[in-house]
Amino acid sequence: MIKNDLVDAVRDEIGGFSTKEIWTYVTFVFDEISSALERGESVKLTKFGTFELHERKARIGRNPKTLEEAVITARKAVKFRSSNAVDNTLNPK
């Protein structure tokens, strides 16, 4: 699913709004999630999951083609942990 598909699904479910308005709302939500992560905050969406910032340490990597070693610098990455509700939906007992 891409952003356009999400916008179409929201428009079909809610109705009463134009595609342009729904696009604006969906973009706003994603921008707010990104802004919170940039500030170092975690974002918890109830019954969906949590987005957290994760610090990765610098390490030595290897180019699989040439086998040449290279330093991979430290960086920040986003980590997502799904909620129990999502896990149970994806993995029914």
25 in a domain, yes or no?
A: yes
24 in a domain, yes or no?
A: yes
Q: Which pLDDT belongs to residue 93?
A: 82
> Using one digit for the tens of pLDDT, what is the confidence trace for 41-87?
999 999 999 999 999 999 999 999 999 999 999 999 999 999 999 99
Name every residue whose Cβ is closer than 8 Å to that of residue 63 and which is 6 or more positions away in sequence: 69, 70
Q: Which pLDDT belongs to residue 15?
A: 86
Q: What is residue 65's three-state secondary structure?
A: coil
Range of the domain at 22: 1-41
91 in a domain, yes or no?
A: no
47 in a domain, yes or no?
A: no
35 in a domain, yes or no?
A: yes
Entry pTM: 0.79
5 in a domain, yes or no?
A: yes
H or E element that contains 69: strand 69-72
Q: From residue 70, give the alpha-carbon distance in Å to each of 12, 55, 61.
A: 49, 19, 5
Domain count, the chain: 2
Tell me: do 2 and 37 sit in the same domain: yes
> Using one digit for the tens of pLDDT, what is the confidence trace for 11-49?
999 988 999 999 999 999 999 999 999 999 999 999 999
